[in-house]
Structure 1
Amino acid sequence: MHIAVLHGGDSAEREVSLRSGQAVARGLTTAGYHVTLIDTKDYCLSDLATAKVDHVFIALHGRGGEDGSVQGALEYMNISYTGSGVLGSALAMDKIRSKQVMQSAGIPTAPFAIVHKESFDKESVAEILTQLGGKVMVKPSHEGSSIGMSVAETPIALTESLITAFQYDKEVLIEAWISGPEYTVAILGGDALPSIHMETPNTFYDYQAKYQSQTTQYHCPSGLSDVDETTLRKIALNAFNATGAHGWGRVDVMRTESGQWQVLEVNTVPGMTETSLVPKAAKVHGLSFVDLVTRIVAISLEQKG
């Protein structure tokens, strides 16, 4: 089978995507597939239609690859691909609308406010801060890897955080601060893999903590009781399904100091370097990296059939 691995692109997560694609290509090659690695930056996607490709493994992170755009193009060309479809990809990538969906579905998620760049009123900042408990996380609606995110505890800091976030997006999510440990749950073919507990000395699990720090710690198994682990996995699966995601992905969750779970977001194309979170969980589940990428391909082909 000839598989094209799409990676790179021109999103803010390009560097991480390049590393993911290279790791996936190595894994699939080891598994015996004929692999073509394609950096989609400056690449005409329509060329895939004549490239005699049997299947596509999407290793693109962020805009243009994780938001339904590439998925729609591939469907138009009748080329099968890994991961979620157009709807699940687009909805999960949109932090605001995915939270609204989760909220309506009864999935626990932190209180939030929405600010639009065009109608942003600096006079409303203090009121928003008060309504959300005095400390907030500011997130561009359509970015991943914690890009453009920051913490604010004063009206001045919140205004500055919003101005920074507006550089990435016209819509910004302001989320009530959650004080407590952070976990992530990988989803593979309808199953939730063992959870991972992340620990960082940083203020939050930001880009630096994810990709550059030598002090971030990952615990898998995460140390939860059997009851808590089962509850967390169920919540993660519910959130994943609520957004219309399928195939494989990852759900990020935090636990408040009072023990309540709060879903942060759903990732439909999470990092896939050999040391990324999904491969870590898969290893504890008994799957090597080669097993993991092979399983992702098999799941997507089963869904196509």
Structure 2
Amino acid sequence: MSSRTAARIAVLMGGRSAEREVSLVSGRECAAALRTEGFTVVEIDAGPDLASVLGAERPDVVFNALHGRWGEDGCVQGLLEWLGLPYTHSGVLASALAMDKVRAKQVFAAAGLPVAASRLVCKDEVRGHHPMPPPYVVKPVSEGSSVGIYIVHAEANGPAQVSDEMPEVLMVEAFVPGRELTTTVMGDQPLAVTDILVDGWYDYQAKYAPGGSRHVVPADLPAAITDACLDYALRAHRALGCRGVSRTDFRWDESRGLDGLFLLETNTQPGMTPTSLAPEQAAYRGYSFGALVRWMVEDASCSR
């Protein structure tokens, strides 16, 4: 879509997921950058009246800066399809698949991508005994930003005592030790590999608190690992049917070489501040933050 015909942009942000505050930051940063690129921008905190608000605003393109449930799981994408409004990022099916960790892992495995062993268990079972030999990770099936993650270490005296707020059915996944790596795909091009340096686990606090983590881009890795991350990220993007920008996360156990590289998940709505992982990789490849959000608007469409 030509930027000349997409003069009015609605930036969706906030919403009601557990990632609301992160989404507000992403949305405001994107809105500011789009204005510097010459677009007319309206910022919308997505609520129950979203359809009527969009009908009144009549944007040419919707920039989806929502994170978490209802914003990146296919729900708002379906609404935008119904309204016939071109929007950034992935469509209904890819968004829903990527957000469901079980379905996404099935897609990745079918595409020959390496994933850690996992199973679904009831919350009471997780609390009652070890559902697999530790170390392992307990996580919700459909949340992002490391919301609700529990790590049960090898020396743990007992199973995870997950909170009552956790869903009734949870994923238990074998813990992969080592380095936290991530690769952004922009269109049909993997951009780079970032090494995420953090003390302890890369949890919500480490992701979003000032100084919570350090990013090294490009990562100092053996060529075979860099090449594999770039290849796996693009294959994951294609296998899910993503479009626009996605980001795929990995864990790499250096002691096992290439056999120690595992794909964790693909994020169809990666964080979008100038210092977020995807924009950092775009900057490494020569795209300013403004140029990146402009590209995303020009790439926007309904499902293909």
Q: Distance in 1 between matches of 2:204 and 2:160?
A: 21
Task: Work out which of the residue numbers 9, 12, 16 in structure 1 matches 2:18.
Answer: 12
Within the alignment, does 1:209 sit opposite 2:206 as a pair?
yes
Q: SS of the residue aligned with 2:256?
A: coil
Q: Using a 3 Å threshold, how does the CA distance of structure 1 residues 199 and 157 change in structure 2: closer, same or farther?
A: farther
Deviation of the 1:226 alpha carbon: 3.5
**Structure 2 gaps, min length 5:** 1-6
Q: Distance in 1 between matches of 2:159 and 2:294?
A: 44
Contact between 1:125 and 1:155, CA under 8 Å: does it hold in 2? no
**Structure 1 gaps, min length 5:** none
Q: Distance in 1 between matches of 2:271 and 2:140?
A: 19
Deviation of the 1:157 alpha carbon: 4.3
Task: Work out which of the residue numbers 69, 83, 86 in structure 2 matches 1:80.
Answer: 86
Q: Distance in 2 between matches of 1:168 and 1:50?
A: 37
| Equivalent position of 1:116 in the other structure | 122
The letter of the residue matching 2:271 is: G
Deviation of the 1:76 alpha carbon: 0.6
Matches within 5 A, 1:1-305: 1-117=7-123, 120-121=124-125, 125-126=129-130, 128-130=131-133, 134-153=134-153, 157-160=158-161, 163-164=162-163, 167-202=165-200, 204-256=201-253, 257-259=255-257, 260-301=260-301
Q: Distance in 1 between matches of 2:239 and 2:168?
A: 25
% identical equivalent positions? 40
Contact between 2:129 and 2:158, CA under 8 Å: does it hold in 1? no
Contact between 1:8 and 1:17, CA under 8 Å: does it hold in 2? yes
Q: Distance in 1 between matches of 2:116 and 2:126?
A: 23
Q: SS of the residue aligned with 2:132?
A: helix
The letter of the residue matching 1:191 is: Q
The C-alpha deviation readout for 1:263-293, integer Å capped at 9, x for no partner, is 0001000110111111110111111000110
Further displaced range: 262-271 or 212-221: 212-221
Contact between 2:137 and 2:173, CA under 8 Å: does it hold in 1? yes
The C-alpha deviation readout for 1:157-198, integer Å capped at 9, x for no partner, is 4341xx33x624333111101111011111101110111000
What is the TM-score with the length of structure 2 in the denominator?
0.91
Contact between 1:180 and 1:255, CA under 8 Å: does it hold in 2? yes
Q: Distance in 1 between matches of 2:184 and 2:208?
A: 18
Contact between 1:143 and 1:168, CA under 8 Å: does it hold in 2? no
Q: Using a 3 Å threshold, how does the CA distance of structure 1 residues 144 and 4 change in structure 2: closer, same or farther?
A: same
Deviation of the 1:155 alpha carbon: 7.3
Root-mean-square deviation over aligned CA pairs: 1.9
The C-alpha deviation readout for 1:141-160, integer Å capped at 9, x for no partner, is 11111110010137764341
Q: Distance in 1 between matches of 2:157 and 2:20?
A: 32
Contact between 2:81 and 2:303, CA under 8 Å: does it hold in 1? no
Q: SS of the residue aligned with 2:192?
A: coil
Q: SS of the residue aligned with 2:195?
A: strand
Deviation of the 1:31 alpha carbon: 0.5
Q: How many residues align?
A: 294
Q: Distance in 2 between matches of 1:95 and 1:300?
A: 25
The letter of the residue matching 1:288 is: S
